Amino acid sequence: MLHTIKKIGVLTSGGDAPGMNAAIRSVVRTCAFHDIKCYGIYRGYEGMIDGDFVEMDARSVKGIINKGGTMLKSARSKDFRTKEGRAKAYEQLRKAGIDAFVVIGGDGSFTGAMIFNKEYNFPVMGIPGTIDNDIFGTTHTLGYDTALNTVVEVIDKIRDTASSHNRLFFIEVMGRDVGHIALNVGIGAGAEEILIPEEDLGLDRLLESLRRSKQSGKSSSIVIVAEGDKIGKSVFELKDYVEENMSEYEVRVSVLGHMQRGGAPSCFDRVLASRMGVKAVESLITGKSSYMVGMKNDVMDLTPFDQAVKGKSKINKELLRVSDIMSI
């Protein structure tokens, strides 16, 4: 492959996700495969502005494919949102002789890369790394599959105690303002109800559904609440509301929080990360720039940044129907 790119930077940006280390490993080793130098950029765009770089080779990334988190650390950078900040970053990259970079992150990270590319005509490529799976242009973002498995395991544990005490549990899961995690773990863990931002169930229908569960002989219930759900009440207010309107239920709440972002990446995420890293580097060295690597029909494809950041990943309506039928 003919290319003039000699040094590629790699960074992780935004909320961390399991599989980011596997993606770093793939970018570094694909560079090595093509005799290109690779530089790790610590702490996302903050580290780029500070010139916090480390040269990496195939051995630098040994033993990390199975590690959650990111060895390069991650951060959200306010300075990179300013022209001055991006100018400093460009200066640092130029000083180090880095002539392209791969950013592993979410839509905010891609927006920054897109603006940087426009300002400096600097080659950039994105790998979608976020547990939310809320990025247009890929069926899976890195970390999503791992988060689903982590959460399902936890809900199974909560169900043990819910059924032992005949309780109703409201379990809040991450996902920012989309309901992919909630919908899939709700089906996977056999939840009685799933509240997601994309579907406004409403409080009355929630009570109706819980009454139906009770009448059908269910002694305990699990309701999954996406953190972005718009029912208008926090999970704690939902608890109070149900206790006030359905005294037959003893209600508890569990907010899973950041444990959903940790843990060893699943095999699916490790393979996806490895594939995305190869695609990102080989796209750069064949002259492409300002794209996000994504999986479509099990093929690694490219989506222009401006589409990836503007688009929204849609909820699968068939899953909604499945969840309704399963909770009969």
Kindly state whether residue 261 participates in binding ligand F6P, applying the rule CB under 6 A. yes
From the DSSP assignment, how many helices (H) and strands (E) are in the chain? 11, 11
Residue 188 DSSP SS3: helix
Which of 18, 112, 175, 294 is in the footprint of ligand F6P by CB under 6 A? Answer: 175
| Range 203-219 burial, b when 16+ CB lie within 10 A, else e | eeebeebbeebbeeebe
Alpha-carbon span 76 to 89, nearest angstrom: 14
Q: What angle do CA 255, 215, 246 make, to 5 degrees?
A: 50
Residue 68, annotated as binding a ligand: no
By rule CB under 6 A, what count of residues binds ligand F6P?
10
Residue 71, annotated as binding a ligand: no
Q: Could you list the active site residues?
A: 132
Task: State the pairing for strand pair 299-304/167-173.
Answer: unpaired
Q: What residues numbered 236-255 form the site for ligand F6P, per CB under 6 A?
A: none
Residue 294, annotated as binding a ligand: no
In the complex with ligand F6P, which residue's Cβ is closer, 21 or 221?
21
Kindly state whether residue 128 participates in binding ligand F6P, applying the rule CB under 6 A. no
C-alpha radius of gyration, the chain, whole number: 22
In the complex with ligand F6P, which residue's Cβ is closer, 132 or 192?
132
| Smallest distance, ligand F6P to C-beta of residue 16, A | 8
Alpha-carbon span 196 to 177, nearest angstrom: 9
Which of 7, 12, 15, 184 is in the footprint of ligand F6P by CB under 6 A? Answer: 15
Residue 86, annotated as binding a ligand: no
Binding residues: 15, 25-29, 76-77, 106-109, 130-132, 159, 167, 174-176, 190-192, 218-220, 227, 252, 258-261
User: Residues interacting with ligand F6P, by CB under 6 A?
Assistant: 15, 106, 130-132, 174-176, 227, 261
